[in-house]
Amino acid sequence: MSTKQYVDERELHRKHYDEICSKLKQDQFAQFLGIKLLELGEGTATAEVIVEDHMLNAHGTAHGAIIFSLADFVFAAACNSYGKTSVALSMNIGFLAAAMKGNRLVATATEEKKNNRTAWYRIRVESEHGLVATLDALAYRKSEYFVQIDEE
């Protein structure tokens, strides 16, 4: 007989908010790029980056990799916001407008649907001039949590 323990993930998010934020801010690649986590909610996240010279492509616009990296970071933050280890299964991005040096890019991830094993997210990347990219992402939710779960 299987006895699965019910975990109130919303409560975990609230109880371990500081620990979860601290873990997500340890992302060394995001730090290297200058990405900053602005907000973290239950299944949501917002982050920003300022486009700098070294982030430009041969045409003088923001490289797609920096836009994707920002979107990927908020996706990771949102799907790990409950303290449950989650990783990307698939991501599909649409680049809709160019971003330029000095633009502040803000990405917001919103959870559309979540169950025990998978979760679906929509991500918007915007500059002060409007929508730059959208991304749909599917996460695999592993069985382990990276925060302490109280034993009943």
How many whole angstroms separate alpha carbon 43 and alpha carbon 56? Answer: 31
pLDDT score at 150: 75
The answer for 99, left when phi > 0, alpha when psi is -120 to 50, beta otherwise, is beta
How many whole angstroms separate alpha carbon 7 and alpha carbon 152? Answer: 10
User: What pTM was estimated for this model as a whole?
Assistant: 0.93
pLDDT score at 54: 97
DSSP H or E stretch at residue 37: strand 36-41
Q: Of 26, 27, 62, 33, give the one whose Cα is nearest residue 48.
A: 33
Domain ranges of the chain: 9-145
pLDDT score at 99: 98
pLDDT score at 4: 62
Per-residue pLDDT of the chain (152 residues; tens, 9 = 90+): 445 678 899 999 999 999 999 999 999 999 999 999 999 999 999 999 999 999 999 999 999 999 999 999 999 999 999 999 999 999 999 999 999 999 999 999 999 999 999 999 999 999 999 999 999 999 999 999 999 887 54
pLDDT score at 90: 98
Fold category of 9-145 in CATH: Thiol Ester Dehydrase; Chain A (3.10.129)
pLDDT score at 77: 98
pLDDT score at 151: 56
How many whole angstroms separate alpha carbon 78 and alpha carbon 130? Answer: 22
pLDDT score at 2: 47
